[in-house]
Structure 1
Amino acid sequence: MPEYTAGSVSNADVEHQYEEYLMPIWKSLNVPVKRASNCVLEDFDGNEYLDLYSGISVTNVGHNNDAVVEAAKDQLDEFVHGCTYVHPHRPAGQLAEKIARITPGELEKTFFCNSGTEAVEGAIKLARKYTGSKEVLALEMSFHGRTLGSLALTGNTSYKAEMAPTINDVSHVAPPYGYRCQRCSGTTCTATCAEQLERVIDTHTSGDLAAVILEPVMGEGGIIVPPVEWIERVQEITHDHDALLIADEVQTGYGRTGEMFASEHFDVVPDILTQAKGIANGLPLGAFTASSDVANAFESGDHLSTFGGNPVTCAAALATIEELEGGILETARANGKWFESQLEELEAEYDVVGQTRGLGLMHGIEIVDPDDGHGPMGVSPAPDPVLAGNVAKRLRKDGIVMGVGGFYKNVLRIQPPLTIGREQLDRTAEELREAIQREVA
């Protein structure tokens, strides 16, 4: 085994260690990271990249944000751990109070955990305890985590193969994917599409519905934005069945869509709201927040997390929220609107760009084969995951990191730090145009 000294490590060295000593589950963007600052990554070979992915929508206030780093360091000097649910401490109390202020409606009480998947599973437990019911309804093409419970909610077979989930009382309904919707075919889904929720409840459940869970913008599904009337009707149907609406804001929260939470774009207030990713700008923290009425269904011992609400991560989260409220969110909202117009021009210019969509600084570019009319579910054109992957690889060679995802693996995902500047976004638009032009030439 080779020995490494400071300054001698290369990209190849790190990749070797991953191959030899980490379980084979990592999906490489081929950009090992030595250091990062704001929107720029640097690898071990001295190359720099504009980061359009933020560690999957995490470093919302920029890599290595000074205020966040200082807040974490200050707390490290005080104490690192005492278990939030054994020893009350100030950072958790302050953060919970702050979350009660910034979340929509009367969401007031928070439980802290370590990750998004834990937040989702905790929210399901709370919904079951509060309602006394057991069944949960989620969306096809959704993503809610990879542990066995949250995996049952995730509406994508590729994540579940050979790993059957443990929650059996889960049903799925079609997502508001207007571009691929048989009923809407290329436009946007309507409230009528939401009526499928009633059909699934009537045909796939036993009438014991505890919750409906959805992402206000579907990230892994391909940056799918539901129309206002669709999500409003889903909430109505959910409450008509005495169930709770859970908004999974793990990816959409903390400014990602131009509002603090994506739910604020719609006239909808969820009964439970899950959070993680951007909450502490890269330090591990998850949470779910509910109204006092719902939250008080939990009794002592019903739920616990040894590391949840760690004082260091809570201090970082408080600093993250202050940074967002200090001007980053407002600037990101304006930049996101401008960038949306650039993507619309790209869609009009190239037939292989089937659709661009998104909110704030969470955008997707659906890449298609315009000559192949055999699209999924009878809706054309067909997805082109190969071209999407090739465009992303070309961008990487030119110094831009961009994710590729979506249910059909054909959506370029643009989710940069919210601190990205107009000049960097302009570069992104131009590089995208050039990469697509080269690949289709």
Structure 2
Amino acid sequence: MTATTTDLETAAPAVGGPQLPQERRLVTEIPGPRSRELAARKDAAVSSAVGTMLPIYTVAAGGGVVVDVDGNSLIDLGSGIAVTTVGNSNPRVAEAVAAQAAAFTHTCFMVTPYDGYVRVAEALNRLTPGDHEKRTALFNSGAEAVENAVKIARSHTGRQAVVAFDHGYHGRTNLTMALTAKNMPYKHGFGPFAPEVYRAPMSYPFRDGVDGVDGPAAARRAIDVIEKQVGATNLAAVVIEPIQGEGGFVVPAPGFLPALAEWCRANGVVFVADEVQTGFARTGDLFACDDEGVVPDLIVTAKGIAGGLPLAAVTGRAEIMDAPHAGGLGGTYGGNPLACAAALAVIETIETDGLVDRARQIGAMMTERLGALQARDPRVGDLRGRGAMIAVELVEPGTTEPDAALAQRVAAAAHAQGLVVLTCGTWGNVLRFLPPLSIPDHLLTEALDVLDGIFETS
């Protein structure tokens, strides 16, 4: 019998947050029959170019679980790719959005502005690294914000060239595809790309040779490429993720980011930190740049900023942010009032509930367990990350040869056993873990127990 829309909507309790049982519960195979029915409808209605990693169809989520239409409850180790940091149904966020929706959903800030936008800008100016005078502009997505950061840097410097890094990911728009390193699936067949984008080598400790390359040396290597292939006088901006996301959660060696930032300051180049995935307590600091005291000229934020509503921002030095002409920045939906209300509630939750410390606690739990796994399983070549942004890179034992097939097997087994797990990396051989900071300890422990069992049998 075919399930009706009503059946599908009521297959699990339409509640989230603290009311949702915080348990892993499998009542059908994954995906279950109702999710498979919806997947068939998706295939008939949605472009095949829009992929899904785990085709369960969600009816409720919160705390540390996602509940599907078949009544299965999965442990969430993905947070919608680092978006639902404070949880999928955080009460403060839900209440703030509901109140704003009852007042008005849109006017366009460029037509008749509202205080929510201004309050978010004030908060970001206060929270982001550095005590200099700042300005903020709001947008819809991380890619849009990165693209606008480049526009702002070009306007400020009068230069055109932009440098990004090996393994970097910055988005799917034309300019941000040019900045992104990985071809498939992000760039293949979509060119030509925006010009005047160049690439420098990243500090990648696991792959920087047997003797290693320390952070300052890796920075000199990158700067040498930039100076020889681009020239500082032609360079508007250096754009870098303080910890790379899609590229494999690559954490540069200590000293790499400070040396790059210092070179940029000395040469009038705008240093842009893409903190789309690392921002808002994810790494155990409010922003990943805080770990080494790096103060970017411009910082790009999105994902965790608004609890799942579309919002992004560029925040930076006032003289740089004010360089473009009046009307040069903006967009119809940028800083939508619902998203601004959500962002203010997210920031309140992070500060009031001590979520920076919670990210560090989660990181310590994951690092201890995954470190023990690495010690007994030579296929775990590297364990890296900070806070609630942790990854393991899987390789052929005793080598650095990527083992993407193992990553896929482990992820598939995790999905079948009720864990939402993501893969990433230039070679597709990295398992990444991004649990919401609302996940309870017992769920995280259970998830790590399940992963241990999967590695024993994979």
Interval containing the TM-score (normalised by the shorter chain): over 0.9
Cα distance between partner residues in 1 of 2:210 and 2:438: 36
Which stretch of structure 1 is more off in the superposition, 44-53 or 199-208?
199-208
- Classify the secondary structure of the residue corresponding to 1:94: helix
Structure 1 residue 155: Cα displacement: 1.3
Q: Deviations over 1:41-67 (max 9, x none)?
A: 111111110000011110000111111
Q: Which amino acid aligns with 2:91?
A: D
Q: 1:295 to 1:409 in 2, by over 3 A?
A: same
Task: Name the counterpart of 1:217.
Answer: 243
Corresponding position of 1:418: 437
1:80 to 2:99 alignment: no
| Identity rate, percent | 36
Matched, 1:167 2:186: no
Q: Considering only aligned residues, what root-mean-square deviation do their CA atoms show, in Å?
A: 1.6
C-alpha distance in structure 1 between counterparts of 2:41 and 2:210, whole Å: 47
> Is the CA contact 1:137–1:173 (under 8 Å) kept in the aligned structure 2?
yes
Q: Which residue is equivalent to 2:357?
A: 330
The aligned counterpart of 1:375 is none
CA deviations on 1:218-241 (whole Å, 9 max, x unpaired) are: 010101111231111111222232
Matched with 2:369 is 342
When structure 1 is superposed on structure 2, of 6-15 and 222-231 the one drifting more is 6-15
SS in 2 for 1:210: strand
> Residue 341 and residue 165 in structure 1: after superposition, are their counterparts in 2 closer, same or farther (change >3 A)?
farther
Q: Find the counterpart in structure 2 of residue 208 from structure 1.
A: 234
Offset of 1:254 from its aligned partner? 0.7
Aligned partners of 2:219, 2:359: CA distance in 1, in Å?
31
Q: What is aligned with 1:376?
A: none
State the Cα distance separating 1:369 from its structure 2 match.
1.2
Rounded to whole Å, the distance in 2 between the matches of 1:306 and 1:37 is 31
Of the three residues 108, 129, 133, the one matched with 1:104 is 129
User: Within 5 Å, which residues of 2 pair with 1:133-212?
Assistant: 133-158=159-184, 159-181=186-208, 184-185=209-210, 187=212, 189-206=214-231, 207-212=233-238
- Assess, with a 3 A threshold, how the Cα gap between structure 1 residues 246 and 171 changes in structure 2: closer, same or farther: same
Offset, 1:204: 1.9
Structure 1 residue aligned with 2:7: 7
Q: Give yes or no for contact 1:228–1:267 (8 Å, CA) kept in 2.
A: no
| Aligned counterpart in structure 1 of residue 332 of structure 2, from 306, 319, 322 | 306
User: For structure 1, which segment, 269-278 or 151-160, has the greater mean C-alpha deviation from structure 2 after superposition?
Assistant: 151-160
Q: Does the 8 Å CA contact 2:204/2:253 hold for their aligned counterparts?
A: no
1:32 aligns to what?
Answer: 57
Deviation at 1:242, TM superposition (A): 1.4
User: What secondary structure is seen at the aligned counterpart in 2 of 1:255?
Assistant: coil
Pairing 1:40-439 to 2, within 5 Å after superposition: 40-105=65-130, 106=132, 108-158=134-184, 159-181=186-208, 184-185=209-210, 187=212, 189-206=214-231, 207-326=233-352, 327-370=354-397, 380-439=399-458
Deviation at 1:8, TM superposition (A): 4.3
Aligned residues: 428
Q: What do the CA deviations read for 1:343-386 (whole angstroms, capped 9, x no partner)?
A: 21111111111111000000111111116xxxxxxxx3311111
Bigger mean CA deviation after superposition, 23-32 or 225-234:
23-32
Q: Deviations over 1:165-194 (max 9, x none)?
A: 43210110111111112xx33756421111
Change (3 A) 1:133 1:176: same
User: Normalising by the residue count of structure 1, what TM-score does the alignment of the two structures yield?
Assistant: 0.94
CA distance in 1, matches of 2:456, 2:133: 47
Quick check: 2:86–2:438 contact (8 Å CA) kept in 1?
Answer: yes
Give the distance between the partners of 2:8 and 2:455, measured in 1 at CA: 36
d(CA) in 2 for partners of 1:8 and 1:200? 55
3-state SS of paired residue (1:369): coil
Residues in 2 aligned to 1:276 and 1:3: alpha-carbon distance in whole angstroms: 37
Larger mean Cα displacement after TM superposition, 39-48 or 357-366:
39-48
2:404 and 2:98 map into 1 onto residues whose CA distance is 43
Query: For 1:108 and 1:202, how far apart are their aligned partners in 2?
Result: 29
**Equivalent pair of 1:216/1:226 in contact (CA under 8 Å):** yes
Summarize the Cα distance change of 1:435–1:3 in structure 2 as closer, same or farther, 3 Å threshold.
Answer: closer
Instruction: Give distance in 2, aligned partners of 1:143 and 1:221.
Output: 6
2:23 corresponds in structure 1 to none
Residue 429 of structure 1 deviates from its aligned partner by 1.9
Contact 1:332-1:419 at 8 Å conserved across structures:
no
8 A Cα contact 1:177 1:189, kept in partner: no
Residue identity matched to 2:63: N
Would you say the 8 A contact 1:388–1:412 is kept in 2?
yes
* Whole-Å separation in 1 of the counterparts to 2:138 and 2:362: 32
Give the structure-2-normalised TM-score.
Answer: 0.90
- Displacement after TM superposition at 1:4 (Å): 3.0
- For 1:247 and 1:406, locate their aligned partners in 2 and report how far apart those are by CA, in whole Å: 20
Secondary structure of the 1:416 match is coil
Contact 1:260/1:329 (CA < 8 Å) preserved in 2? yes
